[in-house]
A = this chain, B = another copy of it.
Amino acid sequence: MVSVEEHAARVAALLSFEPGLEDLPLNQALGRVTASAILSPVDLPLFRNSQMDGFAVHAADVATVPATLPIVGEVAARAASPAALLPGTAVRIMTGAVVPEGADAVIPVEDTTTTDNQVSITRSRSTGEYVRDRGSDALAGSQLLPSGQLLAARHLAVLAAAGLDTVSVVTRPRVAVITTGAELISAGETPEPGQIFDANQVALMAAATSAGAEVTLARRVIDEPALLLAALGEAASVADIILTSGGISHGDYEVVRELLEPRGAWVGHVAMQPGGPQATAVFEGIPVICFPGNPVSTQLSFEIFVAPVLRALSGLPQARQSTRTLNDSVRSVEGKRQFLRGRIEGQSVTPVAGPGSHLVAGLAAADCLIVIPESVTGVALGETVEVWEL
């Protein structure tokens, strides 16, 4: 029996490949992660411009107010280079418009009155006021985004503002999901006694996607080594990581174990509940992470062993961990780490459903895992427990 940490390290080592890069148009890059630091190709702002609708002036001309200046023209936001502003004159200017050479302050329109071709200015402004200097937000060559930045709207916005139309991001790990079990049927089929609907395919596809992966294949195979072999071959050609469920414990029909153990798989038992049986292998150069078939075991095994690695590869935040007060008392098996399902309420947490690995509805009703360490055989009401948010 190996510890949770040992198995987590084994899985992480298997999945420690270098991610690839791809250039994406900005409007397809939301939620992706920069592959390198992005430097600005330009100064931002691109040119010195006005922060207000008002009048561009020489600040020295409004040192004493009220001051009245002739209006010599207008600079609209759409305008190209305006003529230099002579001292003793003012030019009407729109927000964002080029501040003419010579002008060094903008007087907001609300501090002015205009008559005919003259503007009266009631408040003094010093050099630079309401003028946005070229490069004052970012200089050409400076870093707009670091490497590993998870791209939200505001990050894409600055790339667009700098005139970029694509961004180099880390490729998503490609995941194939293979569920096994002769007892599994699809939605729409009528279950015979002993048959169950396959929940693991949907669960692993969604969980891998949530953790930043791209699911490139999903297959279900009955307990037939030739069929599993074919599915693994197909998966290895389109995926960076293969996930399987079922077929790894000690029964007589353990197809994953039968097929992969002779090919060098590690098959063993991890000191945890649920999810004890676990396995890892490499098939045609592709890492294969094998989970037990019980749907709760599969889902928690993914969350504990694979999700942290995928999130790190994808630059996604890890699940929040905290400590809470237990709203109940629970028992646990010595020597095994137990992952109970719970619901957070303020600073406390309440176990939901039981510890059974078949309680899929119970897991769906939970919003966290309550982690009971290996050395603990019971936690009393009101004691503190570690909680992982789902």
Interface residues of chain A, those whose CB is within 8 Å of chain B, are 26-27, 30, 40, 44-47, 49, 51, 53, 76-81, 94-98, 109, 132, 136-138, 142, 144-145, 151-165, 181-183, 186-189, 191-207, 209-210, 218, 222-223, 249-253, 293-295, 299, 353, 356-364, 366, 390
- Complex contact A182–B144 (CB within 8 A): no
Closest to A164 in B: B187
Main secondary structure on chain A at its contact with chain B? loop
Most central of A183, A200, A201 by chain B CB within 10 Å: A183
Say which residue of B159, B161, B194, B253 sits within 8 Å of A196 (CB atoms).
B161
- The answer to whether A201 and B160 touch (CB under 8 A), given A97-B194, A138-B361, A145-B364, is yes
Instruction: Name 12 interchain pairs, CB-CB below 8 A, sorted by A.
Output: A27-B218, A45-B358, A53-B249, A76-B252, A95-B251, A137-B358, A153-B210, A154-B299, A156-B202, A160-B202, A165-B186, A165-B188
A158 touches which one: B160, B162, B196, B363 (CB < 8 A)?
B363
CB < 8 Å: which of B77, B81, B155, B197 contacts A162? Answer: B197
B210 touches A152 (CB 8 A): yes
Contact B158 A361 (CB under 8 A): yes
Find chain B residues with CB under 8 A from A144 CB: 361, 364
Are A27 and B206 in touch, CB under 8 angstroms? yes
Chain B residues within an 8 Å CB radius of A138: 361
In the complex the two chains form, is B163's CB within 8 Å of A202's CB? no
Contacts of A79 in B (CB 8 A): 194
- Chain B CB count within 10 A is highest, among A78, A132, A157, A357, for A157
Minimum distance in angstroms from A20 CB to a CB of chain B: 23
User: Do the beta carbons of A360 and B197 come within 8 Å of each other?
Assistant: no
Contact in complex: B183, A160 (CB < 8 Å): no
Closest 4 pairs (CB-CB, A-B): A165-B187, A78-B182, A157-B203, A153-B206
Residue picked from A195, A196, A361, most chain B C-beta under 10 Å? A361
B residues within 8 A CB of A204?
153
Given contacts A95-B249, A205-B27, A361-B44, contact A81 B157 (CB under 8 A): no
Contact of A206 among B40, B152, B162 (CB under 8 A): B152
Cα–Cα, bound, A178→B199 (Å): 43
Known: A94-B251, A156-B203. A47 touches B360 (CB 8 A): no
Closest to A188 in B: B165
